[in-house]
Each structure stands twice: as structure tokens, then as C-alpha cells.
Amino acid sequence: MIFCPLQFHFLVLGIVGVFAVTVVVVTVVYVKLKVDIILFLRDDLGWRQHNVSDGKRYDAYVLCYKSDTESGVSEEDRRQVEEVLEEEYGYSLCLYDRDVLPGEAVAEAVLGCIEQSRRLILVPSSLGLNPGQDSQYSLLTGLHAALVERQTWLVLVQTESAPDSQVDLDLDSLSEALRLLAQSGHTVTWRGSHSKPLSSPFWKELRYRMPARTRQCPPKDERTIL
């Protein structure tokens, strides 16, 4: 079959057009489903970009701080987050009230937990880490340097106080220490009862920010679903 120059020109344009449309469609689909794709490849198929050989003991350290601008995550919801991460998704967590020896200095204990963890999850609470003491500001101020030095990534949990409130974190409303931390890490939003189902955006985003699991999840018939 012989193509005249005009036909060949249209054929080339058609091929280029189809290729361009395909690239755009694939890009849009990837952007929309990026989190789901990464979670499927990493957690379901076991694909990893690198082997976990950093010598760290925990996948994440969960640290509460007293928030003056947010209502905070309730004690019940915080414990649910910890239990789901450990029992449902198989992550190894460092918890202050469970893994820190009684009587140990707060600052030293926190830095030790950060050093042993791949992620630091900061959760706003009405109680905070150390109620009744004024050491929280100095502790949060030192966290940024500690995270960089110990190669630990930050995940900052924020709360949504009203259904129509702004989802993006308002950096101007945070203290200077928290503002610096928020700019250096990633934020996920806890929306109360809307975030409790495991299919909610909160869990997908939090798992996306977590490292690859270092231990296997328990069989489905042995898992505890909250």
C-alpha cells in the first residue's frame, strides 16, 4: 500500500495525537489513584524501593502534644489509631506510655524513641505529652533538628473541627515550633467519625506516609477491626 505525502502526514499526526492523549489519560489516572497504586504495590504485593536495613526498631513513634488551636484527638480515637496501625496493618509502633521506662527524663526518652523510629507521628491532644509542665515548647523546638539528625520523617495529624472548615493546615495559627515542623513534614486530617472506617481518606493517606511494613499482618480471621 502506497501513501501519498498528505496521507502520511495525517497518519503521523494521528499517531502523535493518540500517543499524547494516552499519556495525558495515564498521567491523570496516576495522579488520581497514586496513593491506591503505591499502597497496592507496596503493602499487597510486597514491592519495596529498598530493603529496610537502617537498624531502627520501630516503624513509627506516636507522640501527643497539647494543642491550643485545635480540639485535639480524643483519647479513645488516639488509641484506635494505634491499635489499627499495629493490629490491622502490621506496623511496629513505639508508644510513650508503653515502651518508655518509668522515671526516665521526658526529653531524653522522646529523643531515644525518635532515634529508634522511621516515622514520628505527632497527634494533637487536649492532654499533651506532659500535662502541667512548660517543657513542651522547648521539646517541640528541638524535634526538627532531632528528626534531621536521626533521619526520621514527620507525619503531623491535624483535626477538622467543623464539616465546612478549611482542610489545609493553617500555618499562621500554629506556634513557631509547630509551624517549622509542619513545613518539614506531611499532614493528614482526622475528621472524627468520618475517619474511623478503614476505607476513609485518613487511613489511606496515613498508610501512604508510613514506611514499608517490617512485619507481616496477622491473618484476616485473627485481626481486630474497630
Mean pLDDT across the stretch 75-83? 91
Comparing C-alpha atoms, which of 88, 86, 44, 43 is closest to residue 225?
A: 88
- Split at pLDDT 50, 70, 90, the class of 186 is confident
pLDDT attached to residue 92 = 93
pLDDT, tens digit, 9 for 90 and up, residues 131-169: 444 456 667 767 777 777 777 888 989 887 544 444 444
Name residues whose C-beta falls within 8 Å of residue 9's C-beta, 6 or more positions apart in sequence.
Answer: none
* 191 or 178: which leads in pLDDT: 191
Are 16 and 113 in a shared domain?
no
Tell whether 179 and 122 lie within a shared domain: yes
**Which residue range(s) make up the domain with 38?**
1-47
Number of domains in the chain: 2
Least confident of 82-96, 145-159, 194-208: 145-159
Summarised one tens digit per residue, pLDDT across range 20-73 is: 888 888 888 767 777 777 788 877 776 665 555 678 899 999 988 776 655 778
Higher pLDDT pick, 185 / 69? 185
Residue % of the chain over a pLDDT of 90? 19
Q: What integer is the mean pLDDT of 200-211?
A: 92
Does 64 lie in the same domain as 29? no
> Sorting pLDDT into bands at 50, 70 and 90, what band is 219?
very low
In a domain, 52, yes or no: no
Distance CA 114, CA 55 (A): 13
Top pLDDT among 34 and 1 is at 34
Q: Give me the sheet containing 186-190, strands edge to edge.
A: 93-95, 58-66, 117-125, 153-159, 186-190
**Highest mean pLDDT: which range of 24-38, 115-129, 177-191:** 115-129
Whether the predicted pLDDT of 205 surpasses 60: yes
Domain end (from 27, 47, 67): 47
3 and 102 inside one domain: no
Cβ atoms of residues 174 and 69 within 8 Å: yes
Q: Kindly report the backbone phi and psi dihedral angles of residue 141, in degrees, each rounded to the nearest multiple of 5, phi listed first.
A: -65, -35
